Amino acid sequence: MQVAIITGAGSGIGLCTAKMLHNAGMAIVGVGRDPAKLATLESEIGDPARVATLSIDVTQDDAPAQIVQLALDRFGRIDFLVNNAGAGSPKPLHETDDATLDGFLDLMLRAPFRLAREAIVHMGEGCGIVNVTSTYAVIGGRRGGAYSAAKGGLDALTKHIACDYGPQGIRANCVAPGVTMTDMVRHRFEDEMFKRVNVETTPFPRLGEVEDVASTIAFLCSPGAAFINGQTIVVDGGWTSTKYLSPRALTTTWVEAEQG
């Protein structure tokens, strides 16, 4: 039985990924900060023999050791690591203070680095790491700031892992979601500008759902992806790869932006 560690497993993409990998026959080590959300994960899967959870902040110094030890104690092995934990609502460079910068880098670059470092020594041929990055690691993105920096660094780390550990049969890939309808994002659609920037420039007739991203992660953890290594799969309905504008956007009267 294969074993997958998933961070940010209590909700959204992480929760959906845990369910899909469990349905594929894997045992799940779900990691998150909120015990109540992890309890929901356990309840919804309903298989105590193949689910272990740990409520911990992944940025803690001892978090990687605790997470890996739980996987080994409960299931005796580690086959896949999904670094999914993250945070949103970044600010542009000139509005980002050091505390915000450190927070984004700690959560979305340093923590995945340290957890991968702890886990990879227990991995072998057929194992893999999936790092959840972002379209902002692919094209930058307005107001990306520290978020873009962290996700871009994670993309580069993934390529390094793919190169250095590929000869051992260990794969590393990124999944880069576009705007996905999670609890973390949904409230941002109250901002008309955010809504337009994403809806009017996506050539698919809807935005992403957690199932779209989770199914891509699950694929990368499947035998069908056995020769995919060092890649980024973008799940965004064409947002990054096209210059699409909706009919509404093309026919909207141009309004000069206010200065200042």
Nearest CA to 247 out of 208, 205, 193 is that of: 205
The reply to whether 147 belongs to the active site is yes
Q: What CA–CA distance (Å, rounded) separates 163 from 151?
A: 19
Find out whether 9 and 15 touch, Cβ atoms under 8 Å: yes
In 3-state terms, what secondary structure has residue 7? strand
Say which of 136, 147, 165, 244 is annotated catalytic: 147
The pair of structure tokens assigned to 232 is: 């980024």
The pair of structure tokens assigned to 259 is: 């200065």
Dihedral of CA atoms 32, 37, 38, 40 in degrees, nearest 10, equals -160
Residues annotated catalytic, as ranges: 147
